[in-house]
Amino acid sequence: MENSTSYRTKKTRRMMLTALEKDIDLGPLKYGEPFTFRYTLINRGDSSVFIKKLIKQCNSCTEAHTSTTQLDPYGRGLISVTFTPGHIGPTTKSISVMYNNDKELKLTFKANVHE
């Protein structure tokens, strides 16, 4: 009689946070005038994603807020961003979405600021 051993495969939980657009071109913006836009986040994994914090490259010119701190599997959420340009010329800024303790999703936006 053969010795048969049953092996269980452990299901690995995937976490994959992404955005519809990771890089947004805001086009021409007027110096000093606030401009609000959004990123749509998508959890493409099979387990929940917990957003811990948003790290803005420029704290004085950028405000960012999430619509939720938890995205269920295949769920969506929003990050609302208000950018107030403080320099004239082309500019690029970033926001890092920190989630599930040690994961990062980097989002960028750029604009051409004029007077």
DSSP string over 3-64: -----PPPPPPP--EEES-SEEEEEEEETT--EEEEEEEEE-SSS-EEEEEEEES-TTTEEE
Q: Which domains does the chain have, with CATH numbers?
A: 13-84 (2.60.40.10)
Alpha-carbon Rg for the chain in angstroms: 20
Global confidence as pTM: 0.85
Predicted local distance difference test score (pLDDT) of residue 12: 54
d(CA 20, CA 26): 15
Per-residue tokens: 93: 């800024």
- Give 85-106 pLDDT, tens digit per residue: 999 999 999 999 999 988 999 9
- Give 8-43 pLDDT, tens digit per residue: 445 555 668 999 999 999 999 999 999 999 999 999
